Structure 1
Amino acid sequence: MTDSRLSRFVPARLRSLIDLLVKATAVAVLCSALAACTSMGLDSASKAPPKLSSKVAASMSAKGMKPESPVLVRIFKQESELEVWKVDKTGGYALFKTYPMCRWSGKLGPKTKSGDRQAPEGFYHVSSGMLNPNSQYFVSFNLGYPNRLESALGYTGEALMVHGACSSSGCYAMTDQQVGEIYAIVDRALKGGQNQFQVQAYPFRMTARNMAAYKDDANFPFWKTLKEGSDTFELTRRQPKVSVCGRRYVFNSEFVGGEPSDPLASCPQIINQPEPAVAAKLDAEQQKLAVALNQGTSSALNSYVDGGMHPSFRAILKNNGAKSMAEKVSGTKYPISRPDAALADPFAGAR
């Protein structure tokens, strides 16, 4: 029925009510269509971002770190942990704090397409414009997925975040208190002169033992590349320079003719070599991995129903229920995403 015909049969007040219902329905449909991790502010009112607390600043000082010194973030799915590293008085990175992760979604492995619920794995760089103090999940920062390599490989998806609220559809979710603290730390570093900070997202801690456990996984070749980056950082305590060529990440390298322009083309000749001491340590890690692969047996541990959460949060969820836990971990009281899947510990039968 057209608007003109509707006006002939329906009173004006009822027409107004119908208009309101139509608009409300449209908004509901729009909201439901948004991925859970878009972290777009639904409230137009701006709010002040979290500030670095005196307690956190004092903890930094005790570890020889300054609030404005550079920061680096590492994420581990299997362990459901997020690490914040800071440059200390030695000039290298040192671990500042490890945060138990409240929720991540998907399974071990990289994100490749929109809607797969996969939290991304790889190397990302976050600038100040990627921080959102008005996120619907308290506060957040965008990882920048897809990065240069992922875009070249045709991977799709957007707005993959680290945020609060313990709800994930491809994101890494913390409690509000945790993400507020992390946000304040990275914001202060960016305001202190760091142009962007690196986020290293891994399926698990990249030990030889863990790698051997997943040697039959289809993602193993990709994870071997991630291990190179992880080893480079742990051995040097310097942020690795990340290049992309040959359909993979390459670390701390300089190339004949400059930085490769095509991520899918073969890598140009590398003209620099790591320092002898670092090269020896990297070789030792490769030998350790080779031994573990020969001796170890592959385990079918990649059995996540839909992501996971740190055991400490799993215990809260089990003892208190999803609604009560949502109230405990987030001021927004946003529902815990897929609580039954979060309770399904993928390692229960392997311990």
Structure 2
Amino acid sequence: MMSIRTLRFVPLLLLGLTGCQDALDSVANKVEHPLPAKLVNKMKANDMSTRSPIMMRIFKEEGTLEIWKQKGNGRFDLIASYEICKWSGKLGPKFKEGDRQAPEGYYRIYPSQMNPRSSYYLSFNMGYPNSYDRAHGRNGSNLMVHGACSSAGCYSMTDEQVLEIYGFARDAFKGGQEYFMVEAFPFRMTPENMARHRDNEHFEFWKMLKAGYDQFELTKRPAKVEVCERRYVFNQVPQIENAAFRSTEACPPASLPPSLASAYSGYEKTWNQNFAKAVAKYENDDAKQLAAAQAKAEAEQKRAEREAAREAKIAANGGQSAPAVLSLFSTGNPLKALAAQPTPAPQSAAPAAPVAAETTMPADQMAVAADVPVPAANPLAPAPVVGATADSQPKKPLWKIWSRN
């Protein structure tokens, strides 16, 4: 007969998603596949048991999923970090079914949420909506961390990655951990990042998440997360024994443990100072960028006005302004200047001179008229070119002509 703990790992068919093929066919039993030896050795070197408790942190903007594991002293240390293959939507929480938005917030993962037969290789359900989400009327289903590198509102990993992530959770549950936390953030909640996103519509929501983030940074222990008055509260110790935290009701009288309260107060003071500096820097940078943009716009406007005035002068001067022509001469480009001057209007052509009538007088008569003896025909002289005029015939000096006679 199977134990209750074993029954917790029976797949929930309703959580299965369809449409993807398993990539690691060489793994005979992916549900029980052991963690790589390098990770086991790393855990031993850091005083961690393979079955000690875990927690996970997700950062959307950085695209990172972290695995933190408990050490022998009770504090947690980072043991593995994975690049998220795909996540859906944008920075900010999920609101409703079908918005394809990956959740942000604090989510408890119980053994029953593990899905060893997921169509996305391996997966676990994040438990969205949690009590905070329900208190705000948010809804959605099948929000997973899974393999296959395909996301529609989930945090999707490669099959190789999710095989290890699943193994960390499996071993922690075998060690007796009741549930582990997945803390999903828009980004690492540093003063610089918060200042950069200070105008975002979700800024107040992120400030609330930051309280749990900060307290983990101080203690290196997962925060005890409760919801009351429709908000998250962290590590609160009720003043009345067994007082309950109910998501939509007033928070019971409670406070932080004194040591944590003191450390948190000092941490917040330093954080707020750094945040103010970061805001001032971004505002100064924004002011510089705005001033530069305005100066550029003004310069462009003046240039356009000068160009319009120049074009107007050109039009008034028949196509080219006199100053423009003179400027070309002054730059040593007179040919370009002459070419740039307006072309004078065409004038009517002067009447052509009358063409003299063709002379048909014989050569001997022409010679008599000129009182020049007519030379005898010279058989060695070249024949005149047919169609050539008298001017085009080759001319010989008179002394050569007389010498032949």
Gaps of 5+ in 2: 1-13, 22-27, 287-405
Q: Distance in 2 between matches of 1:260 and 1:290?
A: 37
Do the aligned residues in 1 keep the contact of 2:15 with 2:115 (CA within 8 Å)?
Answer: no
Q: Which residue in 1 is equivalent to 2:336?
A: none
Please list, as runs of the form range in 1=range in 2, the aligned pairs for 1:183-202 lying within 5 A after superposition. Answer: 183-202=166-185
Matched, 1:292 2:269: no
Instruction: State the number of aligned residues.
Output: 262
Q: Distance in 1 between matches of 2:140 and 2:66?
A: 24
Which TM-score applies when normalising by structure 1?
Answer: 0.69
Q: Distance in 2 between matches of 1:299 and 1:233?
A: 32
Q: Distance in 2 between matches of 1:229 and 1:117?
A: 26
Do the aligned residues in 1 keep the contact of 2:226 with 2:245 (CA within 8 Å)?
Answer: no
Do the aligned residues in 2 keep the contact of 1:38 with 1:161 (CA within 8 Å)?
Answer: no
Q: Distance in 1 between matches of 2:170 and 2:284?
A: 41
Q: Distance in 2 between matches of 1:272 and 1:279?
A: 11
Q: Distance in 2 between matches of 1:110 and 1:246?
A: 18
Pick from 219, 222, 225 the counterpart of residue 208 of structure 2: 225
Deviation at 1:61, TM superposition (A): 1.4
Deviation at 1:141, TM superposition (A): 0.8
Deviations 1:19-75 (A, max 9, x none): xxxxxxxxxxxxxxxxxx9643789xx965033233321221122211111101000
Please list, as runs of the form range in 1=range in 2, the aligned pairs for 1:1-351 lying within 5 A after superposition. Answer: 39-40=16-17, 49=31, 50-257=33-240, 258-275=242-259, 276-297=262-283
Which TM-score applies when normalising by structure 2?
Answer: 0.60
Q: Distance in 2 between matches of 1:173 and 1:91?
A: 30
The one-letter amino acid of 1:79's match is E
Q: Which residue in 2 is equivalent to 1:342?
A: none
SS in 2 for 1:111: coil
Deviation at 1:248, TM superposition (A): 1.3
Q: Distance in 2 between matches of 1:247 and 1:295?
A: 34
Q: Distance in 1 between matches of 2:233 and 2:273?
A: 19
Deviation at 1:233, TM superposition (A): 0.5
Deviation at 1:265, TM superposition (A): 3.4
Q: Distance in 2 between matches of 1:188 and 1:298?
A: 50
SS in 1 for 2:232: strand
Q: Distance in 1 between matches of 2:63 and 2:284?
A: 21
Deviations 1:230-268 (A, max 9, x none): 111011101100111222111111234454443233433
Q: Distance in 1 between matches of 2:80 and 2:97?
A: 32
Larger Rg, first or second structure (1 or 2): 2
Q: Percent identity?
A: 45
Q: Distance in 1 between matches of 2:158 and 2:190?
A: 28
